[in-house]
């Protein structure tokens, strides 16, 4: 039963963090930043925050996560001001590449499908008949 409670707390922290990050004015933080998962410990001392930054430039993605970690104090204060929880966790922002990886895999699959379709349309080569 306690895990359901912590899942709700994690979701509420995620929602509030998303609002805070979206409202931040720091130009070094990409506007295409998404909070994917919050994993807070049971005692709320630490929360790992998995962040996705949709940008082709790896340096921009890394800089965004670095800036979020530098602004951890400000973000934690805002979190405490907006939420009523017994303890504000120390936030650790981590880059999550799962969305970029999924997009990459989808592009590969689309490329293979189009190649297969091209082969099927013009595929009566003499080499394949032998």
**pLDDT digits over 14-56, tens only?**
999 999 999 999 999 999 999 999 999 988 999 999 999 888 8
Which CATH number fits the domain that encloses residue 40?
A: 3.30.300.20
What's the CA gap between 76 and 69, in Å, rounded? Answer: 11
State the burial class of residue 66 (Cβ atoms within 10 Å of its Cβ: 0-12, 13-18, 19+). Answer: middle
Same domain, 43 and 57: yes
Same domain, 15 and 65: yes
pTM of the full structure:
0.74
Structural tokens at position 76: 């934690």
**pLDDT digits over 69-103, tens only?**
999 999 999 999 999 888 899 999 999 887 778 88
Residue of 99, 88, 95, 109 whose CA lies nearest to 59: 95
**HEC states along 32-90?**
CEEEEEEEECCCCCEEEEEEEECCCCHHHHHHHHHHHHHCHHHHHHHHHHHCCCCCCCE
Same domain, 85 and 120: no
Same domain, 29 and 40: yes
State the burial class of residue 118 (Cβ atoms within 10 Å of its Cβ: 0-12, 13-18, 19+). Answer: exposed
């Amino acid at each position: 039963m306690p895990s359901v409670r912590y899942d709700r707390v994690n979701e509420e922290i995620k929602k509030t963090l998303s609002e805070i990050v979206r409202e931040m004015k720091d130009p070094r933080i990409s506007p295409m930043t998404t909070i994917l998962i919050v994993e807070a410990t049971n005692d709320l001392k630490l929360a790992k925050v998995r962040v996705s930054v949709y940008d082709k430039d790896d340096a921009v993605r890394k800089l965004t996560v670095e800036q979020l970690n530098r602004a951890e104090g400000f973000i934690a204060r805002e979190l405490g001001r907006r939420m009523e929880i017994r303890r504000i966790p120390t936030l650790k922002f981590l880059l999550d590449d799962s969305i970029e990886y999924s997009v990459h895999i989808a592009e590969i699959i689309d490329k293979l499908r189009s190649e297969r379709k091209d082969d099927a349309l013009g595929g009566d080569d003499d080499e394949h008949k032998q």
